[in-house]
A and B are shown apart, each in its own frame.
Chain A
């Protein structure tokens, strides 16, 4: 843990080094809201300022210059001094950091098959949940992470091409809209940051990963369950077996870099399929679906 003054000095100076799973992010920013969010969410992942580790990503979040910034303040994301995106309203500076970091990882981390999926673990066995937006993935992920499962990732499954295991990327879980109050009500002890309204995803607030997820970030997990959730309001919660070939196509369809990593990506994906129970989850009621997922691992954690 580093003192808040040091955190501020680091952000405004040479940059704070943040350990995010296998990556080191060096972040610079003079934006107060970025400073507050980093202090809240990443306080246990900051590397000592004295050490100057190699950083995978050099990120800056700053206000663009110009008259426009006076009457409509904005935040801009820079990677290695270049800005790959349009600026967003200043109020969305922290979500912009998280989304920008997603982009950095997706563009560069080709030692992994990267899948748009949540990953959680119990007893060394990983549950991988790819999901379309609106499938309820983040809500399920948050609820599982707050009830005994170890969170490896909310958005990015990193499947090591070397070991075939899932690598943790502990970052705040992005809760959207109704899920924010739902999780807050069910888990009053959960650390949820301020809401950012009117983003491209609606209202967004981030949930801090539980300590165990951060402390065990270097532990990989073997795939055991591949579950595709689909939210079906008013439906019946159920898990149904999914044909392996279909599961593979769905899995690689959710990958950011399947076409980049070639045959080794296919082998990793196919091995994951062979090691996992492949299932569709029709999800209507959070408690019922949590029960089904917990039963996979032998009951509640």
Chain B
């Protein structure tokens, strides 16, 4: 059986265009010339996705280890963060196909 599950991936960015400074990550997007300043919890999502594409479930697990929050609050924060990254056009959402 083939299961299709969405996953999130960062757009490719040159390392020199991503700077982590204290509580902020600054990202320069060469495609549009925009400079974005990301702050928690957005930077946690961004940094998680820097390690590679993640499904919502794996991303949630990653955040759960870092935040002392209820499941509902964390889910809301994650969705808000993902929406923001989508608005900045910094992530791609793709279907993932794998054999189960």
A residues touching B (Cβ–Cβ < 8 Å)? 243-246, 248-249, 252, 259, 262-263, 266-267, 270, 273-274
Could you tell me if A244 and B24 are in contact, using CB atoms closer than 8 angstroms? yes
Size category of the B interface is 10 to 19
Could you tell me if A243 and B22 are in contact, using CB atoms closer than 8 angstroms? yes
Could you tell me if A245 and B30 are in contact, using CB atoms closer than 8 angstroms? no
21 of the cross-chain contacts (CB-CB < 8 Å) are A244-B21, A244-B26, A245-B22, A245-B37, A248-B26, A248-B35, A248-B37, A249-B35, A249-B37, A259-B33, A262-B30, A262-B33, A263-B14, A263-B17, A263-B28, A263-B30, A266-B28, A267-B16, A270-B16, A273-B19, A274-B19
Could you tell me if B24 and A245 are in contact, using CB atoms closer than 8 angstroms? yes
B65 CB to nearest chain A CB (Å): 25
CB-defined contacts of B28 to chain A, threshold 8 Å: 263, 266, 270
Interface residues of B in 21-70 (CB under 8 A from A): 21-22, 24, 26, 28, 30, 33, 35, 37
CB-defined contacts of A246 to chain B, threshold 8 Å: 37
Could you tell me if A267 and B21 are in contact, using CB atoms closer than 8 angstroms? no
Out of A249, A252, A267, A274, name the residue touching B17 (CB < 8 Å).
Answer: A267
CB-defined contacts of A266 to chain B, threshold 8 Å: 17, 28, 35
CB-defined contacts of B26 to chain A, threshold 8 Å: 244-245, 248, 270
CB-defined contacts of A273 to chain B, threshold 8 Å: 19, 21
7 cross-chain pairs, A with B, having the tightest CB-CB distances, nearest first: A245-B24, A266-B28, A244-B21, A245-B37, A263-B30, A270-B19, A267-B16
B13 CB to nearest chain A CB (Å): 10
A163 CB to nearest chain B CB (Å): 16
A245 CB to nearest chain B CB (Å): 4
- Nearest to B14 among chain A residues (CB) is A263
CA distance A43 to B24 in the complex (A): 49
CB-defined contacts of B24 to chain A, threshold 8 Å: 243-245
CB-defined contacts of B33 to chain A, threshold 8 Å: 259, 262
CA distance A270 to B18 in the complex (A): 9
Beyond known contacts A263-B16, A270-B28, A273-B21: 5 more, CB 8 A cutoff: A244-B21, A246-B37, A259-B33, A266-B35, A273-B19
Out of B17, B22, B35, name the residue touching A244 (CB < 8 Å).
Answer: B22
CA distance A252 to B33 in the complex (A): 12
